Each structure stands twice: as C-alpha cells, then as structure tokens.
C-alpha cells in the first residue's frame, strides 16, 4: 500500500501557498521563441498521454478524466507547476473551480504510476515521459532562467548511490537529485549578451 505523500493539512491551507500566476502561463514568456524545453515538452505530449492510457489499462487502473486533465496540464508547460497553478490551467468546470484536494489526489495517483514527479525544492510537479522504475535515481537539472527541467538518469551515479545506501542499510523511497542553475542554452545566451 503506497502511502500518500501529501498530508492534506499543509496544502489545503490556501494562505501559505504562493499564487504565482506568471509562471502558470507558459508559452508566452517574454521574448518570442519558446526554448528547447518548451519544444521538447510539446513534442512529447501526445505520445506520453497515449502511453499513460495504455499503461493504466494494463495495470487495471483508471485514468479518470480529472487524472488525465491534470497530466495533460503538466504536458502543457515545460516548467514545474504547483497544484494551484494546475487549478488555474484547468479553469472552472461546470462553473466551479477544482478543489485543491481533487488536484492533489489526481497528482498522488499520477506519481504512484510514475507519470509525474514532485520537485521538493519547488513544491511543484513535472511530467515524466521516461517510464523508468521508481527506484531509479533521477537527476533534475532545473534552470532558474527559462524554468525548464531536464530529467536525466545517471547510471554511474546510480551505482555509487546504491552502494552507499547498501552500506548504510538504508532503503530509499525517492532517490531524487535536484540541481538548480542555468541550462546550456540560457548560459550561452548570457555569455553572448
Ligand atoms: Zn522520471
Ligand atoms: Zn534555461
Ligand atoms: Zn528552457
């Protein structure tokens, strides 16, 4: 039984959550051309959603309309987004905005199935099209400039970590590495500016 990663308490108290509307609205951030991350994400979306459907069927899980909409919303942007931004992106349904708990439940499911990751450093979520196992070490390279996130598996790093954890007899639940900085494209832009 997988336990929920989200206590309902902390997140439901709307006041503490930052409403960062600028970041929710993706494709038009500033100077025209979408960055590489935006193009990659847009290219992945269709196939990734179809694969999520197929995997759910195979596992006898239901990709309900809300779960699917949340996943689609995450593929609508190359930036990690918070639950409240997802609510904004989805907009009202039958005249009512989605309750945060509805979004968190959908996210819980999507994380459990390996379709989405939570970035602890941002309290935000990002779609994962890679279909790797839950125990694989993934490194997130988070660009502070364009907001893009590259997810990379690093086998040598993974091996070193597995050895270290075995020596400690520590059982990892979420082996995730989050590195913030400037992506290759953005750092090149800075140097040439
Ligand atoms: Zn992943
Ligand atoms: Zn960048
Ligand atoms: Zn980018």
Percent of the chain exceeding pLDDT 90 equals 63
- The pLDDT assigned to 157 comes to 84
Does a structural domain hold residue 11? no
Q: Residue 164 pLDDT more than 60?
A: yes
Percent of the chain exceeding pLDDT 70 equals 81
- CA 27 vs. chain centroid, Å, equals 17
pTM: 0.78
CA pair distance 34, 17, nearest whole angstrom: 28
Distance in Å, CA 11 to ligand 1 centroid: 23
| Token reading at 48 | 């990734």
CA pair distance 25, 65, nearest whole angstrom: 22
What spatial distance separates the first Cα and last Cα of the chain, rounded to whole Å? 52
Does a structural domain hold residue 2? no
Distance in Å, CA 134 to ligand 1 centroid: 8
Does a structural domain hold residue 142? yes
Q: Residue 187 pLDDT more than 60?
A: yes
Distance in Å, CA 172 to ligand 3 centroid: 30
- The pLDDT assigned to 53 comes to 97
Distance in Å, CA 146 to ligand 3 centroid: 5
Q: Residue 25 pLDDT more than 50?
A: no
The range of the structural domain enclosing residue 158 comes to 20-192
Does a structural domain hold residue 6? no
Distance in Å, CA 8 to ligand 1 centroid: 24
Distance in Å, CA 7 to ligand 1 centroid: 22
Q: pLDDT-based confidence at 193, cuts 50/70/90?
A: low
Does a structural domain hold residue 10? no
Residues 85-123 have pLDDT tens digits of: 999 999 998 899 999 999 999 999 999 999 999 999 999
Does a structural domain hold residue 150? yes
Q: Residue 11 pLDDT more than 50?
A: no
Does a structural domain hold residue 14? no
- The pLDDT assigned to 9 comes to 37
CB atoms near residue 39 (< 10 Å) = 12
Q: How many domains does the chain have?
A: 1
Distance in Å, CA 114 to ligand 1 centroid: 7
Q: Which helix (H) or strand (E) segment is 139 a member of?
A: strand 138-143
Which ligand sits closest to the CA of 78?
A: 3
Q: Residue 142 pLDDT more than 60?
A: yes
Does a structural domain hold residue 153? yes
- The pLDDT assigned to 23 comes to 43
CATH of the domain at 153: 1.10.10.10
């Amino acid at each position: 039984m997988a336990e929920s990663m989200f206590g309902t308490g902390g997140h439901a108290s709307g006041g503490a959550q930052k409403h960062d509307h600028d970041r929710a609205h993706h494709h038009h951030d500033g100077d025209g051309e979408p960055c590489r991350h935006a193009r990659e994400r847009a290219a992945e979306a269709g196939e990734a959603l179809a694969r999520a459907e197929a995997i759910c069927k195979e596992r006898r899980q239901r990709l309900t309309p809300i779960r699917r909409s949340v996943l689609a919303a995450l593929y609508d942007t190359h930036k990690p987004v918070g639950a409240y931004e997802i609510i904004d992106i989805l907009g009202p349904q039958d005249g009512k905005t989605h309750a945060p708990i509805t979004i968190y439940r959908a996210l819980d499911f999507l994380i459990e199935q390996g379709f989405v990751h939570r970035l602890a450093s941002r309290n935000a979520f990002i779609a994962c099209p890679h279909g790797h196992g839950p125990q694989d070490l993934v490194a997130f390279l988070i660009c502070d400039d364009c907001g893009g996130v590259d997810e990379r598996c690093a086998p040598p790093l993974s091996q070193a970590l597995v050895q270290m954890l075995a020596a400690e007899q520590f059982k990892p639940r979420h082996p995730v590495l989050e590195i913030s900085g400037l992506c290759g494209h953005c750092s090149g832009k800075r140097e040439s500016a």
